[in-house]
């Protein structure tokens, strides 16, 4: 089974600044490319790998230093505590959808293949994309596309979905594609369809909310000097990561204390995001939209805002 070539592999490993005896977390195991490279650098250290997609378990190597956790990384702190881990030396996240998930038509992620309109990272949890379209009220549909996409003329899209579902259930990717293609601006049908699918996928998997919870949880388990290394493929996610590393909040600005001092949890190792080289982009198209940010956990009295 092929998932995808690990994106920015060398840069991720350098960003983690690996201690062979340390403890590390890969919250997005996927095809295992990043995890296997981390394991090669460990001697007595441990790697805790998360993935909620059952398919990912087919890629697990037999390695004594690997602990696999079949769970959503949203609950990173709780799951690590269940394994007796209170602090780790580095955390890696490769956000988004793997090439394998896009290439499996029956998962519903791809505009290229017909299949059930599912889009769940964990097929056993939550609402599918078909159920979202069938059950969301008009305003909720409008809000999900406004939140997750840059689509113009959202009322036309929402009205088309509402009218179509009144006469038939929209249960396949082909149905959705046929329905929304006529709404695409001239010459931009592929981008438009990709945005529609993206908006639904991000809503189905609560991707922004999950990322926010992971950022707070990761920060609570990273030891001072530990590294947070995150790759994102969407501007909303990248902005959240940038804000969190700089300010300690996904939304941005942190309040100063009585003395005018900000207590932020990270020192930014990368002021600007690291992007792939032209050579890597040519070899691995998934790398073209990747932005890598690295933060180092500082010794502060930072606490999560409630």
Per-residue pLDDT of the chain (306 residues), as tens digits, is 344 578 999 999 999 999 999 999 999 998 889 999 999 999 999 999 998 887 778 778 889 999 999 999 999 999 999 999 999 999 999 997 654 444 454 544 565 657 899 988 887 778 999 999 999 999 999 999 999 998 988 999 999 999 999 999 999 999 999 999 999 998 888 889 989 999 999 999 999 999 999 999 999 999 999 999 999 998 899 999 999 999 999 987 776 665 667 778 999 998 899 999 999 999 888 889 999 999 999 977 777 754
The DSSP secondary-structure symbol of 293 reads: E
What is the pairing mode between strands 66-69 and 88-94? unpaired
The dihedral through the CA atoms of 303, 304, 305, 306 has a sign that is negative
| Predicted local distance difference test score (pLDDT) of residue 102 | 42
User: What is the spatial distance between Cα 6 and Cα 169, in angstroms, rounded to a whole number?
Assistant: 38
Closest CA to 90 of 221, 276, 231: 221
User: What is the spatial distance between Cα 16 and Cα 37, in angstroms, rounded to a whole number?
Assistant: 12
| Domain 9-99+208-297 CATH assignment equals 3.40.50.300 | no
Tokens representing 279 are 């050579």
| Predicted local distance difference test score (pLDDT) of residue 137 | 97
Say if residues 50 and 29 touch (Cβ distance below 8 Å): yes
| Predicted local distance difference test score (pLDDT) of residue 124 | 79
**pTM of the prediction?**
0.88
Edge-to-edge strand order for the sheet containing 291-297?
A: 66-69, 46-50, 23-26, 88-94, 222-232, 291-297, 266-268
Closest CA to 53 of 113, 1, 115: 1
Closest CA to 243 of 211, 217, 274, 289: 211
CA angle 289, 188, 152 (to 5 degrees): 90
Residue with tokens 């792939």: 276
Say if residues 292 and 8 touch (Cβ distance below 8 Å): yes
Residues of the chain with CATH 3.40.50.150: 9-99+208-297
- Which stretches does DSSP call E strand in the chain? 23-26, 46-50, 66-69, 88-94, 222-232, 266-268, 291-297
Rg (CA), the chain: 20
Residue 32 Cα to chain centre, angstroms: 15
Tokens representing 164 are 């179509």
Residue with tokens 């922004």: 208
What is the pairing mode between strands 88-94 and 46-50? unpaired
User: What is the spatial distance between Cα 297 and Cα 304, in angstroms, rounded to a whole number?
Assistant: 14
User: Residue 259, class by beta-carbon neighbours within 10 Å (0-12 exposed, 13-18 middle, 19+ buried)?
Assistant: exposed
Angle between helix 154-167 and 138-148 (nearest 10): 140
């Amino acid at each position: 089974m092929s998932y995808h070539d690990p994106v920015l592999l060398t840069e991720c490993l350098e960003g983690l600044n690996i201690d062979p005896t340390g403890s590390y977390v890969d919250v997005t195991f996927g095809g295992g490319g990043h995890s296997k490279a981390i394991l090669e650098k460990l001697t007595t250290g441990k790697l805790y790998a998360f993935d909620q997609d059952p398919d990912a378990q087919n890629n697990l190597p037999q390695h004594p230093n690997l602990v696999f956790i079949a769970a959503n990384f949203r609950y990173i702190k709780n799951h690590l505590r269940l394994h007796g881990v209170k602090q780790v030396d580095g955390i890696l996240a490769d956000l988004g959808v793997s090439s394998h998930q896009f290439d499996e038509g029956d998962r519903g992620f791809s505009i290229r293949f017909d299949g059930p309109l599912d889009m769940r990272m964990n097929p056993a949890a939550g609402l599918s994309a078909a159920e979202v379209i069938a059950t969301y009220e008009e305003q909720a549909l409008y809000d999900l596309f406004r939140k997750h996409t840059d689509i113009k003329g959202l009322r036309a899209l929402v009205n088309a979905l509402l009218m179509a579902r009144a006469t038939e259930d929209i249960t396949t990717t082909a149905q959705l594609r046929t329905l929304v293609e006529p709404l695409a601006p001239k010459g931009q049908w592929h981008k438009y369809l990709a945005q529609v699918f993206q908006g639904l996928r991000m809503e189905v998997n609560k991707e922004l909310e999950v990322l926010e919870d992971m950022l707070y949880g990761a920060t609570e388990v990273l030891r001072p000097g530990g590294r947070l290394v995150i790759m994102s493929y969407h501007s909303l996610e990248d902005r959240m990561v940038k804000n969190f590393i700089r300010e300690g909040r996904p939304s941005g600005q942190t309040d100063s204390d009585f003395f005018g001092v900000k207590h932020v949890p990270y020192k930014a190792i990368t002021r600007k995001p690291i992007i792939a080289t032209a050579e890597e982009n040519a070899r691995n198209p998934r790398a073209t939209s990747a932005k890598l940010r690295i933060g180092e956990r500082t010794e502060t009295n930072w606490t999560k805002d409630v």
